[in-house]
A = this chain, B = another copy of it.
Amino acid sequence: MGDLVLAVDIGGTKFAAALVEPDGRLLRSERVATPPGGDAETLWTTLTGLIDRLGMPHRVAGVGIGCGGPMSWPDGEVSPLNMRGWQGFPLRERLAARFPGVPVHIHNDAICLAVAEHWRGAGRGSADMLGMVVSTGVGGGLILGGRLVDGGTGNAGHIGHVVVEPDGPRCRCGGRGCLEAVARGPGLAAWAVSQGWSPGAADLRDKEDLYQEAGPATARRLAADAAAGDPVALAAMARAGRALGIAIAAAANLCDLDLVTIGGGLSQAGPPLFGPLEEALRDHTRMEFAGRVRAVPASLGQDAGLVGAAALVLAAETYWSAG
């Protein structure tokens, strides 16, 4: 069992952990709701309890961690949005103390999703890709020349803060007109409500745990209403698709990409989203080299975060550059 890796995926709505085989398959996994309002030690004991429930083997070959940002990297002091109990919490160090003598690697959750798609998902075989997640937030991870790009502080891939409407809506980051401000689920749903949309009657259950959305007026419901032909919902999907296309074009022009994978709740919206996305992307990638970029849905499901976290250890030569 010495070649199994422990993968941990920490989000605002749930904690997940798994024992992962060298090929990326999950041998066993467990999950638990994030304790609302939990303080630092409550969150920590929730995590260690979850790990214990896996029935840990005597040795694991390493620990891979995905965690909501921001964090200091590579030392892994985490301050996840919507998790006030962990502000500057030394998550990497604490797990390293619990699993001495093996590598403990960490990255933000959006980067882990991108890594998963590149390693075992829709991005397999691409040397130059952006893996995106569009949900409550809009994030991503960048692979160039066949390797994960960290950037100067471990924050490369923040496509959500590329400007798509210079005078557009305010963003959570304090900026204006960011892709995230336009296309994140709650922002898009709020825009649709402002345009007269009221959520349809379908009883939809959110299956997406990562970046989960709460309340009735969700982007998932908006996508379902768009699929059913609601004109305002369709306009909202077109608005998000255009914004995504513009931002993806920027990334393709700047980084000479061949592929962009799009995961998260909104990526399930199908043609009402991907049609306008594709149109905007083609309008803004007119250089010959950039015209080859393809934007496709991510192919891994809810375990993607765990698979990507495991890859930080299992394929460290590709996805881990730090000490």
Bound Cα distance from A149 to B142, whole angstroms = 12
Bound Cα distance from A227 to B284, whole angstroms = 34
Q: Is A116 an interface residue (CB 8 A)?
A: no
Q: Are A288 and B70 in contact (CB under 8 A)?
A: yes
Bound Cα distance from A255 to B254, whole angstroms = 9
Q: Is A229 an interface residue (CB 8 A)?
A: no
Bound Cα distance from A127 to B256, whole angstroms = 19
Task: Point out the residues of chain B lying under 8 angstroms from A194, CB to CB.
Answer: none
Tally of A interface residues using CB under 8 Å? 53
Q: Is A59 an interface residue (CB 8 A)?
A: no
Contact among B151, B255, B284, B285 with A257 in the assembled complex (CB-CB below 8 Å):
B151
Q: Is A321 an interface residue (CB 8 A)?
A: yes
- Mask, A9-40, CB within 8 Å of B = 1, is 00000000000000000000000000000000
Q: Are B254 and A250 in contact (CB under 8 A)?
A: yes
Chain B residue at smallest Cβ distance from A242 = B166
Q: Are B250 and A162 in contact (CB under 8 A)?
A: yes
Contact among B151, B155, B175, B287 with A155 in the assembled complex (CB-CB below 8 Å):
B287
Q: Is A131 an interface residue (CB 8 A)?
A: no
* B-facing residues in A79-130 (Cβ within 8 Å): 127-128
- Mask, A290-323, CB within 8 Å of B = 1, is 1010000000000000000000000000000100
Asked whether A286 and B171 contact (CB < 8 A) given A128-B152, A166-B165, the answer is yes
Task: Point out the residues of chain B lying under 8 angstroms from A176, CB to CB.
Answer: 283-284
Q: Is A212 an interface residue (CB 8 A)?
A: no
Task: Point out the residues of chain B lying under 8 angstroms from A266, CB to CB.
Answer: none
Q: Is A213 an interface residue (CB 8 A)?
A: no
Query: Smallest Cβ distance from A250 to chain B, in angstroms?
Result: 4
Bound Cα distance from A28 to B83, whole angstroms = 62
Q: Is A173 an interface residue (CB 8 A)?
A: yes
- Mask, A127-170, CB within 8 Å of B = 1, is 11000000000000010110001111111111111111110000
Q: Are A173 and B254 in contact (CB under 8 A)?
A: no
Query: Smallest Cβ distance from A218 to chain B, in angstroms?
Result: 25
Q: Is A46 an interface residue (CB 8 A)?
A: no
22 A-B residue pairs with Cβ-Cβ distance under 8 Å, sorted by A, are A149-B255, A151-B256, A152-B258, A152-B292, A153-B256, A155-B290, A156-B256, A157-B254, A157-B256, A158-B253, A158-B287, A159-B253, A162-B249, A162-B253, A163-B246, A164-B166, A166-B242, A171-B286, A177-B284, A178-B284, A250-B250, A255-B255
Other A-B pairs, 15, CB within 8 Å; known A155-B289, A163-B164: A144-B144, A149-B256, A151-B255, A156-B256, A158-B253, A158-B254, A158-B289, A158-B290, A162-B249, A162-B254, A174-B286, A175-B249, A175-B284, A176-B283, A178-B284
